[in-house]
Amino acid sequence: MYSYTVPLTLFLLPHAIHTLLHIPISLRSTTTPLPLSPRLPRPLTHSTYPTFFIFSSAILMHAWMYTPSLLPRSYASWISSAAHLHPSILSVLRSARMGRWLYASDLPLPDSSVLSPLASRLALPPTWADPANLDRSPTDPRGFGTTNGGAHGVRRFIAGWSFAMRMYFPLQLVMGSRRLYQSRALLLKRRALRQKVRVVLGMVVRAAMGAARSSVFLGAFIAGFYYTVCLARTRVGPRVFSKHGDIVSPQMWDAGMAITAGCLACGWSIWLERKERRGELALWVWPRAGVCLTGRVYEKKDQWRERLAFVSSAAIVLAAAQEPENLLKGVFGKLLRGIYA
């Protein structure tokens, strides 16, 4: 059966988990002494949302690389725009994942000529276009032919930062203008024109700084993905498994192991974001990642699992919204507290 409520259930679940982890801290902050209240280490409570983001990012990036049909079309298109990966490289990686071509193999495989478009685009020797002549690809296809993974990572960071800046800066300007209008700072007739210009310039500077910080996060996310893929494929992987070439072959790195390493590494850039933004980002990506894992179609006999998760999470979230402590974070928490105020 097809479920329309899976994204909503997955949206409420991290809120509920985060609330449960923060209850002991809220109990300890009350004036009533509670010597028997549970004590959780502060890093555990502070890492809830970043953990969700890292885990969700790995799932989403892996799905985008190999099974983009699991993602909403608009979301997959946005990732493609941010990643800026050539379609020929995607074809090579996906074909390797499915075993449609192999290094140093004379078997008549379906995609034995899949490297030809990539080799011609990068002006590589014709012999490199045939995987049967290679023990492994002599250049990293994810690096657009470069052999310097560090330099490529820097270029990816700059490109990702520029892409994010074009997206975040207008949004920050709109939000800053809205706050400026609500404060009525420009409507006071007693203020001189110079003071009003100073207020506007201050808003623009704050918007630029906020956008730049968020852009650093996205730039590091993109650069971390590409650099880790290159590092795992060309340096760390061959050195660690140099004595086990019969178990972990170069084909396995190009067929998914290097990509998996990049997926696991990119989400750690969440620590570069502001603390209050980490939760919002985690709750934005987690429902999409959860749908990739669970899907929307399941047997009717298993419907009770989703209902139990939804009812439990909703009960915890609604109860937390009515408490005086700010157990719910982010825009969603402010919205619910405003309703119950």
Identity of the highest mean pLDDT range in 145-154, 177-186, 250-259, 324-333: 250-259
C-alpha 163, offset from chain centre: 15
Question: Running DSSP on this structure, what letter comes out for residue 191?
Answer: S
Work out the percent of the chain whose per-residue pLDDT is above 90: 17
Sequence-distant (6+) residues with CB within 8 A of 277 are 214
Tell me what pLDDT residue 233 has.
Answer: 80
**Residue keyed to tokens 């140099």:** 242
What is the per-residue pLDDT across 24-60, written as a single tens digit (0 to 9) for each? Answer: 544 444 444 444 344 445 554 567 788 889 999 999 9
Distance CA 292, CA 295 (A): 6
Measured CA distances, 276 to 46, 54, 106, 271, 281 (Å): 11, 16, 55, 11, 9
Measured CA distances, 120 to 90, 141, 294 (Å): 16, 12, 40
Question: Running DSSP on this structure, what letter comes out for residue 104?
Answer: T
| pLDDT over 80 (residue 193) | no
**Residue keyed to tokens 């179609």:** 297
Round the average pLDDT of the chain to a whole number and report it: 76
Domain layout of the chain by residue ranges: 47-297
Measured CA distances, 211 to 169, 170, 206, 224, 241 (Å): 5, 9, 8, 20, 42
Distance CA 300, CA 55 (A): 28
Distance CA 143, CA 138 (A): 12
